[in-house]
Structure 1
Amino acid sequence: MQLIERAVSSRQSAWDTGGVRPAEQFAYYREAICQAFMNLTPEPAAAAGFAASVEHIRLGDAAINRVSFPEHVVWRSAADIAASERSCFYLNLKLAGRCRIQQGDREVSLSPGQVGIFDSDRQFALLHDRGPQLRVASFWVPAEALRECLPASFGVAAARVSDDPYVGHLIVETARTLSDGALRISEEEGVLLFRALIELVAVSLSRRSRAGAAESESLADATALAVKRAIHRRLREPGLAVADIAGAVGISERYVHKLLARSGSSFTDYIIDRRLDGAARDLADPAMADRAIGAIAFDWGFSDLSHFTRRFKQRFGCRPRDWRAR
């Protein structure tokens, strides 16, 4: 089937399935969105006939795609990504119906008036439902246009940026203004407004990342404290292992090691140092002057007296008996 593109202006193209036989409408729509968006794989409608329209408006290197369609699903597969020559982000302003964006381990739901962003370089599914006729204004954002506004190596995950309490409303209004007025202003003015929109999105993503990092750091600090408390409660157990502490706190053994490494220590060294501190206190305690050094070492979880003596001297600069004599 030949795809017929209608050039409305020098920077606008449009496709409408209304002029195509019902049995061919979905195939026509599929070709249209691939031309407007890059390679995508929409899932065929169950019934014949698919009333849809696609309007593509150029904004310099970017574009707005205004699309109307019935309920269906759109996939971007690994093959679609491999066949695409450029990378972009899709910034979607939902106009009618609902869409669920599934990418990686995230699902972002968009209702009318909400804006979400997702990455063309990662597989995704768009579940368009709650029709019968749905509409979206989707901004085709060159990857470099957004990344130059973000810190180096910043990871952009699927997100609903309209939720941002500070700039979310500005993102929505700017996206709506640009979508509604793209053909009433010059392309140069559209490009400037588009840049303002991307800068607002970058502000939102950066804020979200900082807040998430702060929350993650706070949680890590609290978990590290829980790990240390669990160690201290069982410090005198000779066979204390990382698996015991991981089980007590409810985290993985690997994460126990990672949390202690943040404070500059290994699991084994942390336990030995705390045991040595306890033994040193007992050796200096006049009330325990009659207790044998070996017995104190064994009380603190050491099973080898020569190992205890060697590690004690490394930590305190003298042998246990000299420490006691002092």
Structure 2
Amino acid sequence: MEQLGNADMKHAEDKPFYTASRNVLLGELSVSRFATTTGHYVRTRKHVANDRDDILVGYYRSPQPQLWTVGNQDLELKQGSVVAFNVAQPVSSFTDGLTAWNLASIPRAQILKLVPHAGNRSAMFLDPANPAVRHLERTINFLLDADEVCEDQGLARRAEAMLGDLIVLALGARGEVAEIAAERGLRAARQRELIAIIEKRFAEPSLSITTIADALNLSRRYVSDLLLESGATFSERVLELRLQKARAMLSDVRYDDTKVSDIAFACGFNEVTYFNRRFRGRLGCSPTQYRMGANHSDA
């Protein structure tokens, strides 16, 4: 309960109990995901007395609505609702069914230095369509599933900075603070999103900078600059992924009867001659020679 604090909880007696959670700490910040069938959840002044004074940005993911009473506010959360609130305050909630959340946490003192108005209300809804709010949840999901981030101190520091910037933007930072956070945090999040799209769709022959830029409502130049900053151009990144897939297929006995041309097309190449030339340039032999060598070594 370090993330959410102590509470009185009551579970429906006629339903099987279920709970699952994951929490990743990044310095003073954290991200978490949890789900539970606990119906009633109450935190009194006694419960919050010794809690961390954090601001949580929560993404409600349950199909069942959740009713909140916090401060002098009554809130109804529906699937897709995004709310920011101070965890160190009394609150009660009721859900008839599964409760599911994605959360990001930041010390209240840290956020109030950058976004003073963030502490004006006990809880406030955020716009899910806001790019910063949208990218924040994607970043939460990424950090919860990317174990390598926490294993590398350098990556962890960069991830903490990006997460903090996105929280600042999601909570409505203004002026110079917003400009700095947008340049640093939002740009890093978009870069990661672009790379994820390429890694998912690289085998589509029609994939291009233009199609990605149009899908994300970004300029082609902006997309090109972000990818170049990542260490590889769009063409270099796509080519490498396609060649890696072709190499894996040529080494796999399940594709022994698949024509080299069909493998090339399955990996996103439009022309077999171009595929052969690039494959030879990258691996020093033709696809057919590579397949024969792989099969011989396996034997």
TM-score (norm 1): 0.45
Whose radius of gyration is greater, 1 or 2? 1
Greater relative contact order, per chain length (Cα 8 Å cut-off, separation 6+): 2
TM-score (norm 2): 0.49
